[in-house]
Amino acid sequence: MDLWVIWVVAAALFAAGEIFTLGFFLAPLAGGALVAAVAAGLGGGAAVSLVAFLVASTAALVALRPIARGHLHTPALSRTGTAALIGCSATVLEQIAPDAGSVKLSGEIWTARAYDEDEVIEPGVRVTVMEIRGATALVSP
């Protein structure tokens, strides 16, 4: 089997593997394997194609992975829905006990429970939203 065919198969395997991973690690290796396939197809031997693979893969990883990592994580400012409320401050309106309570959160009144189930929080206390479960905010002072 020709060397360039082996590199094309390796590129296809790396590309297929990238579909099942989230780290954007195998795609640059697939690109490097394609560069190595071209080098082998142009008459370069195993050593030349291996060097082409290593150089192209390393360059692609160094150049593209930081960009991809920036797109993998959602920054706090662009969170939406209830996820955007996590970490926000709220004011207790009705005493928060194990079975009742409410807070004013982002201008709206929410049913609330203490994040620590045994804790009782008095009205007027500023709390932080730790979690949202359904339509109930779990808060902590």
Q: Give CA–CA dist 32/140, Å, rounded.
A: 51
**Could you give the domains of the chain?**
3-72 (no CATH), 81-140 (2.40.50.140)
Q: Give the residue carrying structure tokens 């808060």.
A: 139
Q: What is the pLDDT of residues 110-141, one digit of tens each?
A: 999 988 888 889 999 999 999 888 889 899 88
Helices (H), 1-141: 3-19, 26-41, 46-72
Q: Are 140 and 128 in contact (CB under 8 A)?
A: yes
**pLDDT at 98 (0 to 100):** 81
* Cβ neighbours, 10 Å, residue 61: 18
HEC-encoded secondary structure of 20-46: CCCCCCHHHHHHHHHHHHHHHHCCCCH
**DSSP assigned state of 81:** G
CA dist 72 and 65 (Å) reads: 10
Q: How confident is the model at residue 49 (pLDDT cuts 50, 70, 90)?
A: very high
Q: Give the Cα separation of 105 and 88 in Å (integer).
A: 8
Residue 37 φ/ψ, nearest 5 degrees = -65, -40
More confident residue, 69 or 6: 6
What amino acid occupies position 121? Answer: I
The predicted model gives 23-41 an average pLDDT of: 92
Tell if the pTM clears 0.85, that is, is over it.
Answer: no
Residue 115 confidence (pLDDT): 87
pLDDT digits (tens, 9 = 90+) for 59-106: 998 998 788 777 666 565 666 677 778 888 999 999 998 888 999 988
